[in-house]
Each structure stands twice: as structure tokens, then as C-alpha cells.
Amino acid sequence: MAVVATPDCCFQELQSALAQAKAQVVATTNVVEKRAVRAMKKRLQDRLYQRKHRAKREYKIRSLEHDVQTLETKIARLYLDLNRRKAAVANAETQR
């Protein structure tokens, strides 16, 4: 999956577009234009929220995948230690 732009760049673009939409609402006197600009502003806010939510979700998934990998490594190490101790106990009992 190729990433075209960084998430921060996309957030900044959406936030600047949102700021421009707010300025247009204030500057516009026509009611129809205000409604259109407000609808556009709402769509921009929704897109910004979706991107933030998606970024948080992806970060959480990556974090959990890392935790799983760390735990798998720890479990493998503990099994290795357990097998060594079992072998040591077996050797100690055979030497008695």
C-alpha cells in the first residue's frame, strides 16, 4: 500500500479548507450561498473527523500488533527457560 501524502499534511489541508469555509460563511450575505458553504464546511469536518479516527485506529492496531509480537517473543523465551530447567532437574535426579 503506497502512501501518497503524510497524514499530518492531509489534516493541515483539511483544516485550512475548513478555515476558508468559515471565512466564506462570514463573508457571504446570500442565504443560498451560506447554506451551500455550510454544507461544504460540514463535509470537510466529517472528512477531518474520519481521517483522525482512522489514524487513531491504525495507530492502535500497530501498537497491539507490536505488543503481540513482544509477547510471542517473551513466551518463546520462557518456554526455552522452562525446557532448560526441566533438563537440569532431570539431570540432577539421574545423578542421585
The reported pLDDT for the residue numbered 69 is 98
Measured distance CA(39)–CA(91) in Å, rounded = 78
Q: Give tens-digit pLDDT for 21-76.
A: 777 777 766 788 878 888 888 998 898 899 999 999 999 999 999 999 999 999 99
How far apart CA 25 and CA 77 sit, in angstroms, is 62
The DSSP output letter for 36 is H
> Minimum mean pLDDT among 15-19, 73-77, 86-90: which range?
15-19
Output the CA torsion sign for 85, 91, 94, 96: negative
